Structure 1
Amino acid sequence: MLPIAILLLTLTSRAQTLTKYHISFENAVHHEAEISVTYTNLENKVLEVRMSRTSPGRYALHEFAKNVYGVKATDSEGNPLEITRPNPHQWNISGHDGTVKFEYTLFANRGDGTYSQVDETHAHLNMPATFAWARNYGHRPIEITFDVREDLDWKIATQLKHLQETTYYAPDLYYFLDSPVEIADFHLRDELVEGQLIKMALHTPATDAEVDKYFSKVMAIVHEQIEVFGELPELDYGEYIFLNCFMPNASGDGMEHRNSTIVTNSKPLNEPLEETSISTISHEFVHTWNVERIRPASLEPFNFEEANMSGELWFAEGFTSYYTGLILARAGIRTEQEYIEGLAGSLNYVFNHPGRAYFNPVEMSYQAPFVDAARSVDPVNRDNTFISYYSYGSVLGLALDLSLRQLDGDKNLDDFMKLMWQAFGEPEVPYTNRDIESTLAYYAGKEFATGFFNKYIYDSQMPDYKSLFASVGVDFGLENPGKASLGTDIDIENGIGKLDGNARQGSPLYLAGIESEDEILSIAGTSLNSVSDVDEILSDYAPGDEIQITFSRWGDQHTAEVTLAEDPAYKTTLNPDASEAAIQLRAEWLQGNIE
């Protein structure tokens, strides 16, 4: 007798016309997969079959059709059908008899959170990069059969609903395209949480003891994040799975999906597992709430044919990034000192970046289609104009959390995120920036919310981090007071200095008219042949001193007068003399809901 769930799916399948996929990997050694998709009960018109140009969780265009070839289409009798190409991403099929079998070969050799990779170690499948689909039939349920390589001991891991053997189910095209698959000889672990199963498929060489230890850290992260939002979401099939591929042929990445996440790392085969990509695990699981269910209206519905622009990524990605490290501290994976000192990285990046003069966090979010693994060949000036919405939102999440904790009523960001979950995530009502602001006003008062948004979200001002950190017994100040700086890093190779990016606006090098194409020969009379690091020269000078820099530009030698600035880098450290009140507030912040 069939289990009830499978029986219901079977009955549904009989009532609805299914789209059926099949994929095999006979030529995996050469990174090829053979794919077919069969459409039946078609309307009497041209069938428009496409490859996606975007992928869930990515905001830029990715031209997946470039890896498709050997295309053919046949009708129910196996007769070849006419195929035309109206654009690079689409195949129009005419003359069918209500059935079309569309077949092609896919080349796939990038294992990350967006693309696919097929070889004899695994079949790592991100669905938009792998499977063609037909316009106007996205509502139809999907069955897919994976012809796995039994000679390689392959198993299947995915959030798709398992039907039987190697056949899986998706209720519609969107869920299908949002359901990555890892097929390999992987380790599998699981734990029941609130009546739902949290699973981990881990493709990497490791002992059982290593995998057990790693999974215990993953589950510590899971439990701490549930504390933040108050409950685990109701998962569509009662399961969530981490699809982890840590192999030298993979590329480092992480990508969230509705009931799964895919995390990749190019870990060498002989390197211990330890805490590989554990920060990425933390980040992506926050997305189970924030992005997948607490979802920006600008991403609904997600467009698989065009770039997806959202002004809410400072919150969706940035606040998620804030919790990434905080959760590691709460889970005991990072020490209090490690977490506090690590905050300086993002703060320095955002605080000292000239890009705040051009875009606020909402406008930085709009840049995602240009920066989110997007490809371009012409140089850009992002060193001066773009701040990652991940980092920008992260430091604003930190500021909001510490600001709320100074208000009456034991307020904090955790409880605000619970409120966002209850208002928008649990009922799955998409939100806008104004909705975040109004929810904050409900939680902390209109004056507080309006002030925070007007200064830090709709404008590019920076919060008073020195005061905020002091409230939790943390010192925030210059890392190297009195240290001279050129404001832009210089890399030295074979006695030639090159800027490691465009000259930073307002920096001594920028004001002196020195740019990334210039070859720096000497600084303050010292040839770069005689030093390995610019600091060896600058250590003899102070901010405000004037020095000469000799450089070559297109074969001509130039000399510039440069006035040194003070190193703007900040540091964050625990204050050993903090008051008991500050230490208590810090404990509440770093330990979460403590009694």
Structure 2
Amino acid sequence: MNLSKTLASVFFISLLFGCANQPEKNTEDQEISYEISFENAVHHEAVIKATFTDLKPGKVSLRMSRTSPGRYALHEFAKNVYDLKVTNSKGEELKVERPDPYQWDVNEHDGTIHLSYTLFANRGGGTYSQVDETHAHLNIPATFMFARGLGDRPVKVTFNTRDDLNWKVATQLKHLEGNTYWAPNLHYFMDSPTEVSNHSVREFTESSNGKDYNIRFVLHHNGTDEELDAYFENVKKIVKQQKEVFGELPDFDFGEYTFLACYIGNASGDGMEHRNSTILTSTRSLADGGMSRNIGTVSHEFFHAWNVERIRPQALEPFDYEEANMSGELWFAEGFTSYYTGLILCRAGIITPENYVNGLAGTFNYVWNSPARRFFNPIEMSYQAPFVDAATSVDPVNRENTFISYYSYGSVLGLALDLALRNEGKDLNLDDYMKKVWNTYGKEEIPYTIDNLHSVLNEYAGQEFGDNFFNNYIHKSEMPDYKSFFENVGVSLKTDDTKAYLGASTRNGRIRRNPQIGSPAYKAGLENGDTILEVNGTTIDENTTVASLLEGMKPGDEISIKFTRHGKERQTSVSLGKDPAYTIALYEKDNIPVNDKMRSNRGAWLNKR
């Protein structure tokens, strides 16, 4: 068991959760105890009980978290709590005050507080919890209240499973006995999602640095054992190929890593990394497309076991459960992880090189054809996470023109850096840069900054190379020379200058999104919500779409558009532009000769390690 870093961070966790009622030392009787039951699961309710002992005199603040590890926006979990009761050691009810929507203050107690409340939970993903007769899918911050100032105390939790539903428990928490589990402190507890259901388990042993680690794949689904067996073989391939990137596995606490997959119709599609586990949810069964479409999330989330969980931005330490967490490094933490998501599937033989290369175009076009780069660089895009990472709002926003996902932006920058390093002719590549970051910061769990990443690249590839990358593509929003990078691996990058472009996404004539700044539609004054009635006098109907009418046109053609806005008919003229979309393909697809050097470079990039 390696919890040295977890326990070493106790001081910071204590600061995070406040100092009131902080014990002078940890003892077994200062352990925080939780119990959760699911008798009314049919109506999505769980009953939670908690006991806090050895409390100093004075106010105790009980809170529901507003955030969740792996998420960056605020999520007001307190809204699902009701029927709250607080008593002392004698069972006497205590007075509770509410200073804000997230907190319950107990001002008088006898050193012990017993808490009970009911939680409504009906979203099975990586952020919220879901309780019904299929499972109790629990994200801990969305489920359990905590007491400020007790962040370094160990936690014990008992899951009262439904035997009539054949439920059992799967979690990264340390198993004590029966359905009782343990965490060394509150942060580890909060970072430990739990699946309670009639699930199946597959596991294998992977060795690293002389240690054997148990890799478990837990799947709650309605499929067959044969489907799970086939899927698990791909999971094993992913684990082994990602281990090759860094040269070793992380030193997983308790010697185990657990995939918690839930592929059922009432789940919500999501993936969420945690220290020694990950949540994987999808409405797609393995038989209904999940075998190929769910596996990318497995690749992405396991890569986070290194990049985010241990190669960790300084801005996220310590994690704040009461306010939004903002980091300028998400282009690396999430974006480079996204780059490796598909690359690992290719190296593992789960997708072909041709499919991988063709699949780059969607993200590539989204990033490099976005006007948002004029407003924010990758660091500032990362700062937007509290507003976009499953955040909710009711007012319209202009994301089409002002935001590029740091997942996507970082992914194409990871691609650029990898190919640029390989283009240096010095046996350089992104894998070895990631290894160096891992050995410098991740392995010892030293939080990093952007300047740290810059310095490591300078050390690895030379100052000129490192300065060029960070100064032009991270601190600025310039576009790397992908065309020359791709040529070295026998891949083409091109646009079709003969294809006309309007720049408005339509369905049944209705413009569905804000037109991009600078597009023909934007210049012509067309707007989100407008409905196009006619193009050059031809009516738009179920058989005639805007796209079909543009197919025979050329860039520079002038067209007349009749549309409605707020119930009134209007007219505008549009000068069509050149389609800015790129296609990315292997040279072979375009019958372009591929020489031995290109094949060798491509193999070094895409082949199995």
Amino acid corresponding to residue 540 of structure 1 in structure 2: G
Separation (CA, whole Å) in 2 of partners of 1:123 and 1:509:
48
2:228 to 192, 203, 211: 211
Aligned to 1:418: 435
Aligned to 1:88: 101
Where 2:253 maps in the other structure, the secondary structure is coil
Amino acid corresponding to residue 430 of structure 1 in structure 2: P
Q: Give CA deviations for 1:501-552 in whole Å, capped at 9, x if unaligned.
A: 0011111110001101222111122110264422221122110011111111
Contact 2:227-2:287 within 8 A present in 1 as well:
no
1:499 CA displacement: 1.3
For the pair 1:581 / 2:605, whether they are aligned, the reply is no
Separation (CA, whole Å) in 2 of partners of 1:22 and 1:143:
9
Aligned to 1:557: 569
For the pair 1:153 / 2:166, whether they are aligned, the reply is yes
1:498 CA displacement: 1.3
Where 2:346 maps in the other structure, the secondary structure is helix
Aligned to 1:298: 315
Contact 1:148-1:155 within 8 A present in 2 as well:
yes
Amino acid corresponding to residue 559 of structure 1 in structure 2: Q
Which sits farther off after the overlay, 326-335 or 263-272? 263-272
Aligned to 2:488: 471
Matched length: 580
2:497 to 460, 481, 495: 481
Which sits farther off after the overlay, 128-137 or 498-507? 498-507
Aligned to 1:21: 34
| Percent identical residues | 57
1:276 CA displacement: 4.6
Amino acid corresponding to residue 446 of structure 1 in structure 2: Q
1:592 CA displacement: 5.3
Separation (CA, whole Å) in 2 of partners of 1:268 and 1:207:
10
1:207 CA displacement: 1.7
For the pair 1:248 / 2:265, whether they are aligned, the reply is yes
1:490 CA displacement: 1.4
1:545 to 543, 546, 557: 557
Contact 1:521-1:527 within 8 A present in 2 as well:
yes
1:481 CA displacement: 3.4
Amino acid corresponding to residue 61 of structure 1 in structure 2: L
Separation (CA, whole Å) in 2 of partners of 1:426 and 1:544:
56
Aligned to 1:523: 535
2:219 to 185, 202, 205: 202
Q: Give CA deviations for 1:19-62 in whole Å, capped at 9, x if unaligned.
A: 00000000000000000110000010111000000000000000
For the pair 1:567 / 2:583, whether they are aligned, the reply is no
Amino acid corresponding to residue 140 of structure 1 in structure 2: R
Separation (CA, whole Å) in 1 of partners of 2:503 and 2:459:
43
Contact 1:16-1:141 within 8 A present in 2 as well:
no
Contact 1:206-1:272 within 8 A present in 2 as well:
no
Amino acid corresponding to residue 167 of structure 2 in structure 1: W
Contact 1:247-1:269 within 8 A present in 2 as well:
no
Structure 1: runs of 5 or more not aligned: none
Quote the RMSD (CA, aligned, Å): 1.6
Which sits farther off after the overlay, 552-561 or 288-297? 552-561
Listed as ranges, the matches of 1:365-376 within 5 Å are 365-376=382-393
Separation (CA, whole Å) in 1 of partners of 2:26 and 2:203:
29
Evaluate the alpha carbon distance shift between residue 365 and residue 269 of structure 1 in structure 2; reply closer, same or farther with a 3 A threshold: closer
1:372 CA displacement: 0.2
Listed as ranges, the matches of 1:124-523 within 5 Å are 124-194=137-207, 195-267=212-284, 271=288, 274-478=291-495, 480-492=496-508, 497-523=509-535
1:114 CA displacement: 0.3
Contact 2:221-2:285 within 8 A present in 1 as well:
no
Instruction: Give the alignment's TM-score, normalised by structure 1.
Output: 0.96
Amino acid corresponding to residue 426 of structure 2 in structure 1: G
Separation (CA, whole Å) in 2 of partners of 1:325 and 1:26:
42
Where 1:475 maps in the other structure, the secondary structure is strand
1:267 CA displacement: 2.2
1:14 CA displacement: 4.9
Which sits farther off after the overlay, 529-538 or 320-329? 529-538
Structure 2: runs of 5 or more not aligned: 8-24
Where 1:408 maps in the other structure, the secondary structure is coil
Evaluate the alpha carbon distance shift between residue 17 and residue 327 of structure 1 in structure 2; reply closer, same or farther with a 3 A threshold: same
Where 2:288 maps in the other structure, the secondary structure is coil
Evaluate the alpha carbon distance shift between residue 16 and residue 294 of structure 1 in structure 2; reply closer, same or farther with a 3 A threshold: farther
Where 1:462 maps in the other structure, the secondary structure is coil
Instruction: Give the alignment's TM-score, normalised by structure 2.
Output: 0.93
Separation (CA, whole Å) in 1 of partners of 2:497 and 2:556:
13
Q: After the TM superposition, which parts of structure 1 deviate over 3 Å for at least 4 consecutive aligned residues? A: 12-16, 268-273
Where 1:86 maps in the other structure, the secondary structure is strand
Contact 1:206-1:273 within 8 A present in 2 as well:
no
Separation (CA, whole Å) in 1 of partners of 2:534 and 2:285:
40
Evaluate the alpha carbon distance shift between residue 189 and residue 276 of structure 1 in structure 2; reply closer, same or farther with a 3 A threshold: farther
Aligned to 2:11: none
